[in-house]
């Protein structure tokens, strides 16, 4: 708004130095709200201005949150948890790449060779396990010694990381399973799921006595050993590990292990 008059030099200085009387101050304020010219003539404390801006910049210059983080916050997670979940994939990017490669390889083999789909059946359950084993602990996380002294450390961090690994791993494996040749029933697409979850639970349960990565190694080795035994023994076949009866035992094991983990968290 253009006005016909402007504040005088003296009025501006009186106002800025807090020496204007009440009515002059009110008048000056009404004018300053609208008049950019008088505002720019108002004497300013440069040192204060710089300090104030640098304080402000510290807050404003923080990185803006990425799309994943915003999505996680939108579905109701706390801001810190969302940040943690979004940051975790940085730690296991190599694992993620490897997973994609292995699954692509398993798919190629399954499409090219007879009985090739067995390779997928044996690798799919281990993929989430390896991811979980590599998601937490000394030697994996460069900030582990820092993180281990925060209130977040321990089970909460462990489970958050596990969740951050399980979601992409299970998604990838399911996607791969649907790309397999001759998938007709739902059972043929998710037969690997229960063994995978049971092994992850076993790994988490074992982590009470050993580092998580070692626990993952032990469980993984047990799986390979089982495969070898089943192929060598007479009258046994590795695909027996996925029969409906076997699935029931996997479910039982998973339930028991989950119970054990919960109990341990409660009593910890």
Partner 1 sequence: MKLLRRARRRVPVYGPDSTDTVLLSSVAAGETDALEILHRRHAPWLRARLRYRCSDHDQLDAALQETFLAVWRSAGSYTPRPGDDDAGAWLWTIAIRQLISQLRKRSNRWIAESEPEPYETVGDASAEDTVLLNIEHGPLGAALHGLSPELRSAIQATVLDGLTVREAAEILQIPEGTVKTRVMRAKARLREALTT
Q: For binding to partner 1 (CB under 8 A), which residues are involved?
A: 1, 3, 5, 15-16, 18, 22-27, 29-34, 36, 39-40, 42-45, 48-49, 52-53, 55-57, 59-61, 64
Q: Whose Cβ is closer to partner 1: residue 46's or residue 234's?
A: 46
Phi, psi values for residue 192, rounded to 5°: -85, -10
For residues 16 and 10, what is the distance between their CA atoms, to the nearest angstrom? 10
Q: Whose Cβ is closer to partner 1: residue 61's or residue 112's?
A: 61
Q: Whose Cβ is closer to partner 1: residue 30's or residue 225's?
A: 30
Q: Whose Cβ is closer to partner 1: residue 89's or residue 211's?
A: 89
Min. distance of Cβ 251 from partner 1 in angstroms? 42
For residues 136 and 154, what is the distance between their CA atoms, to the nearest angstrom? 10
For residues 161 and 80, what is the distance between their CA atoms, to the nearest angstrom? 13
Which residues, 6+ apart, have CB-to-CB distance to 262 below 8 Å?
none
Residue 139: other Cβ atoms inside 10 A: 9
Min. distance of Cβ 71 from partner 1 in angstroms? 15
Q: Whose Cβ is closer to partner 1: residue 26's or residue 225's?
A: 26
C-alpha atoms less than 13 angstroms from C-alpha of 249 in its C-beta half-sphere = 6
Min. distance of Cβ 70 from partner 1 in angstroms? 12
Min. distance of Cβ 35 from partner 1 in angstroms? 8
Q: Whose Cβ is closer to partner 1: residue 23's or residue 232's?
A: 23
Q: Whose Cβ is closer to partner 1: residue 19's or residue 171's?
A: 19
Select from 254, 133, 130, 139 the least CA-distant residue to 202: 254
Taking the alpha carbons of 133, 136, 142, 148 in that order, is the dihedral positive or negative? Answer: negative
Which residues, 6+ apart, have CB-to-CB distance to 55 below 8 Å?
none
Which residues, 6+ apart, have CB-to-CB distance to 91 below 8 Å?
134, 135, 140, 141
Min. distance of Cβ 218 from partner 1 in angstroms? 40
For residues 235 and 32, what is the distance between their CA atoms, to the nearest angstrom? 94
**3-state SS, residue 261:** helix
Min. distance of Cβ 96 from partner 1 in angstroms? 18
Min. distance of Cβ 34 from partner 1 in angstroms? 6
């Amino acid at each position: 708004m253009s006005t016909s008059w402007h504040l005088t030099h003296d009025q501006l200085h009186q106002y800025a130095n807090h020496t204007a009387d009440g009515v002059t101050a009110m008048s000056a304020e009404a004018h300053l709200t609208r008049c950019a010219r008088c505002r720019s003539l108002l004497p300013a404390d440069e040192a204060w201005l710089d300090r104030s801006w640098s304080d402000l910049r510290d807050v404003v210059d923080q990185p803006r949150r990425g799309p994943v983080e915003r999505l996680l916050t939108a579905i109701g997670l706390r801001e810190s948890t969302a940040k943690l979940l979004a940051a975790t994939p940085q730690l296991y990017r190599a694992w993620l790449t490897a997973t994609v490669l292995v699954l692509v390889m398993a798919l190629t083999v399954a499409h090219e060779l007879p009985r090739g789909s067995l390779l997928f059946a044996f690798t799919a359950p281990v993929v989430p396990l390896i991811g979980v084993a590599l998601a937490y602990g000394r030697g994996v996380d460069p900030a582990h010694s820092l993180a281990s002294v925060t209130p977040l450390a321990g089970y909460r961090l462990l489970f958050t990381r596990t969740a951050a690994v399980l979601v992409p791993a299970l998604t990838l494996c399911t996607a791969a399973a649907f790309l397999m040749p001759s998938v007709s029933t739902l059972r043929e697409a998710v037969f690997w799921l229960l063994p995978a979850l049971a092994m992850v639970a076993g790994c988490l349960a074992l982590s009470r006595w050993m580092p998580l990565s070692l626990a993952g190694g032990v469980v993984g080795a047990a799986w390979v050993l089982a495969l070898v035994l089943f192929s060598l023994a007479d009258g046994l076949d590795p695909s027996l590990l996925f029969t409906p009866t076997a699935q029931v035992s996997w479910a039982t094991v998973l339930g028991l292990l989950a119970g054990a983990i919960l109990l341990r968290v409660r009593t910890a």
